[in-house]
Amino acid sequence: MSHGLARGLTNYGDRDFALYLRRSFARSMGYSDAALAKPIVGIADSGSGFNNCHRHFPELIAAVERGVLAAGGLPLRFPTISLGEVFLEPTSMLYRNLMSMDVEEMIRAQPMDAVVLVGGCDKTVPAQLMGAASANVPAIQLLAGPMMTGRHEGERLGACTDCRRFWAKYRAGAITKDQIDGIEGRLATTSGTCAVMGTASTMACLTETLGMALPGTAAIPAVHADRLRAAEASGETAVRLARTGLTPDRILTAAAFENALRVLLAVGGSTNAVIHLTAVAGRVGVTLSLEALNRLSDETPVLVDLKPSGQHYMEDLFAAGGVGAVLRELAPRLRLDCLTVTGETLGEWLAGPAGYVDRAVVRTADEPFQAVGGLVALFGTLAPGGAILKRSAAGARLFEHEGRAVVFQSLDDLAARIDDPALDVTPDDVLVLKNAGPIGAPGMPEAGYLPIPQKLSRAGVTDMLRISDARMSGTAYGSIVLHVTPESAAGGPLRLVTSGDRIRLSVKERRLDLLVEAAELERRAERVEAIAAPPRGYRRLYLDHVLQADAGCDFDFLRHPSRR
Ligand code: FES
């Protein structure tokens, strides 16, 4: 196997000439022979003017370069697609697989002995892990780190659970236009990812658990000096990885994914992480099942008191002991023989000094924040392939509930009618959104957090059972059933639901059922029209190849050959 500049030569039909030409062009950038002889560490830079969460990346990447140089490597940064969550139409999820292809192909096509993946915002870390897993070049993830909280009139605020809380108050008429405008400037005040246990923070915790990021680094705030030290250490570790050749497939094992699922449950993490973990696992031939999630959920307590399930923020988790404090509580339930990027096992890391733990934020396994895991999978006649409920962020009042469906055919239909004073809806009804899944929307937007109809929210209603084939932001909360699979646009039973049908949810039985006779559903099925595919481009590729939520919404041709 070749190293450094001699890796993966350009194909001119003359390998010696290809290396000669590459070296002469590399020298044009001012590198000495000594520099060009060192192990090359690529730095995948997902910074962008369209990504507020990554705005500190120039400083962070300079620290990575420092670490690479100090350890005797040559750092070479390269740009990739960046996915700034709120700047993308129709949804960042549509482009996660595209970014993963970019990352994979650029790692493979360019001559690097190891790569530092620098990402943070929701879809960037999953895309980088997916790409790196498929490229299988030694890799380490450097996380952006969470934002700091802001203050408004004495109240602590953090994106984006508080964005949703205040917007709900505004919709209910509880605060004025001037007040909501003032809060807008206080919700996201520093660089870094959302300040609560949303998708980005969840994926950061899971990446550290998987062993793909340095121990103790997931929760360090973006603007903290420790984050720069973590960047420098990541650069140093990448040089070591280049020398030892420890590849992602030896770290991303079935046991490591089981550990990650446990931590997802214990931190009250985002529902989106189920999809992303499934997709990353699918790249290395590991299957994650929703049945396994339910088994783990019953035996894994929620330990972390963070929004949206609890009251604290990511900077509090950092001060409380970080992911290591969670892992130590879970240790008897974890597979401790899993390797990490340091070359140590998880068990060896956890055997080190524990340090201070703030038990207000990270509870003990004996006195947990909640007795059972944060997520449950539901199955039934409405979701034969499964659906997800984040019970840690939902009101238990609706866990056993039967109600009348109020159906919205699409996101446009939802926007047009949800606040119509004439909408026939009561607090006990079940709001149902169709055509918001991977194919239907397309891109499975975070639209599952259906707003409470304004006439009900103004009357004081704060929660209702809501069901869709969409996703939900990890920062959102409520009695919300997501990822209904198969989605309505893929022929799932959800497409047959009509207003007035009865729907039954039982969290105890893990069931989600449409209480309509089979013969009536067959009659309705004959009248459903297929969705027209876009004629060209990435969206055509996407619709032709995207899989359902139970396969991580990856493309069929990107999964590990054993999982296609
Ligand atoms: Fe980037 Fe929330 S918008 S992590």
Q: Which atom in ligand 1 lies closest to the alpha carbon of residue 473? A: 2
Q: How far apart are CA 558 and CA 552, in angstroms?
A: 11
Please identify, among 184, 208, 237, the residue that sits at the C-terminal boundary of a domain: 184
Domain that includes residue 334, residue range: 38-148+190-350
143 Cα to the center of ligand 1, angstroms: 12
Q: Are residues 397 and 340 in the same domain?
A: no
359 Cα to the center of ligand 1, angstroms: 27
When the pLDDT of each residue in the chain is averaged and rounded to a whole number, the result is 95
| Strand bridging mode 150-152 / 114-119 | unpaired
Q: How far apart are CA 171 and CA 444, in angstroms?
A: 25
194 Cα to the center of ligand 1, angstroms: 5
CATH number, residue 469? 3.50.30.80
User: Which ranges in 197-313 belong to alpha helices (H)?
Assistant: 199-210, 225-244, 248-251, 254-266, 272-283, 290-299
Q: What is the pLDDT of residue 164?
A: 85
Q: Are residues 136 and 219 in the same domain?
A: yes
Kindly state the average pLDDT of the residues 129-133.
98
Quickly state the pLDDT bin for 543 (edges 50, 70, 90): very high
121 within ligand 1 shell (Cβ under 6 A): yes
- Domain membership of residue 546 (yes or no) is no
Please identify, among 315, 350, 385, the residue that sits at the C-terminal boundary of a domain: 350
Percent of the chain whose pLDDT exceeds 90:
91
Q: How far apart are CA 228 and CA 453, in angstroms?
A: 45
* Whether pLDDT at 533 is above 80: no
> Number of folded domains in the chain?
3
CA angle 273, 267, 375 (to 5 degrees): 55
Please identify, among 159, 184, 209, the residue that sits at the C-terminal boundary of a domain: 184
Q: Are residues 170 and 232 in the same domain?
A: no
pLDDT tens-place string over residues 216-256: 999 999 999 999 999 999 999 999 999 999 999 999 999 99
* Whether pLDDT at 563 is above 80: no
Q: Which whole-number Å values give the CA distances from 51 to 81, 310, 347, in the listed order?
A: 11, 27, 36
- Domain membership of residue 502 (yes or no) is yes
Residue 352 token pair: 């080190």
Q: Are residues 142 and 157 in the same domain?
A: no
pLDDT tens-place string over residues 336-369: 999 999 999 999 999 999 999 999 999 999 999 9
Q: What is the pLDDT of residue 328?
A: 98
83 within ligand 1 shell (Cβ under 6 A): no
Q: Which atom in ligand 1 lies closest to the alpha carbon of residue 120? A: 4
Strands of the 74-79 sheet, one edge to the other: 74-79, 40-45, 114-119, 139-143
201 Cα to the center of ligand 1, angstroms: 9
Ligand 1 atom 2, closest CA: 194
- Other Cβ atoms less than 10 A from the Cβ of 424: the count is 10
- Domain membership of residue 535 (yes or no) is no
- Domain membership of residue 96 (yes or no) is yes
Q: How far apart are CA 387 and CA 395, in angstroms?
A: 17
* Whether pLDDT at 477 is above 90: no
DSSP H or E stretch at residue 164 = helix 161-171
Q: Are residues 308 and 393 in the same domain?
A: no
- Domain membership of residue 32 (yes or no) is no
Q: Are residues 336 and 385 in the same domain?
A: no
Q: Are residues 130 and 194 in the same domain?
A: yes
494 within ligand 1 shell (Cβ under 6 A): no
Kindly state the average pLDDT of the residues 411-425.
97
Kindly state the average pLDDT of the residues 170-184.
92
- Domain membership of residue 29 (yes or no) is no
Percent of the chain whose pLDDT exceeds 70:
100
- Domain membership of residue 5 (yes or no) is no
* Residue, of 475 and 280, whose pLDDT is higher: 280
193 within ligand 1 shell (Cβ under 6 A): yes
Which of 53, 205, 446 most suits a substitution to test ligand 1, by most atoms within 8 Å of the C-beta? 53
83 Cα to the center of ligand 1, angstroms: 9
Q: Are residues 297 and 420 in the same domain?
A: no
Q: Are residues 276 and 388 in the same domain?
A: no
Q: What is the pLDDT of residue 34?
A: 95
Q: Are residues 163 and 256 in the same domain?
A: no
121 Cα to the center of ligand 1, angstroms: 5
- Domain membership of residue 130 (yes or no) is yes
446 within ligand 1 shell (Cβ under 6 A): no
Beta bridge partners of 506: 400, 511
| Strand bridging mode 400-408 / 502-506 | antiparallel
Q: What is the pLDDT of residue 405?
A: 98
Quickly state the pLDDT bin for 524 (edges 50, 70, 90): very high
Q: How far apart are CA 465 and CA 57, in angstroms?
A: 40
86 within ligand 1 shell (Cβ under 6 A): yes
92 Cα to the center of ligand 1, angstroms: 11
**Measured torsion, CA atoms of residues 147, 81, 241, 250, in degrees rounded to the nearest 10:** 100
Q: Which whole-number Å values give the CA distances from 46 to 43, 80, 132, 267, in the listed order?
A: 9, 5, 14, 26
99 Cα to the center of ligand 1, angstroms: 16
Beta bridge partners of 389: 376, 481
pLDDT tens-place string over residues 267-278: 999 999 999 999
307 Cα to the center of ligand 1, angstroms: 15
Q: Which whole-number Å values give the CA distances from 252 to 42, 139, 246, 340, 478, in the listed order?
A: 20, 11, 11, 9, 33
Ligand 1 atom 1, closest CA: 121
Q: Are residues 134 and 155 in the same domain?
A: no
Ligand 1 atom 3, closest CA: 85
Q: Are residues 86 and 119 in the same domain?
A: yes
111 Cα to the center of ligand 1, angstroms: 31
Which of 46, 88, 193 most suits a substitution to test ligand 1, by most atoms within 8 Å of the C-beta? 193
Quickly state the pLDDT bin for 509 (edges 50, 70, 90): very high
Q: Which atom in ligand 1 lies closest to the alpha carbon of residue 160? A: 2
Quickly list DSSP for 108-144: HHS--SEEEEEE-STTHHHHHHHHHHHH-S-EEEEE-
238 Cα to the center of ligand 1, angstroms: 26
CATH number, residue 127? 3.40.50.2300
pLDDT tens-place string over residues 280-317: 999 999 999 999 999 999 999 999 999 998 999 999 99
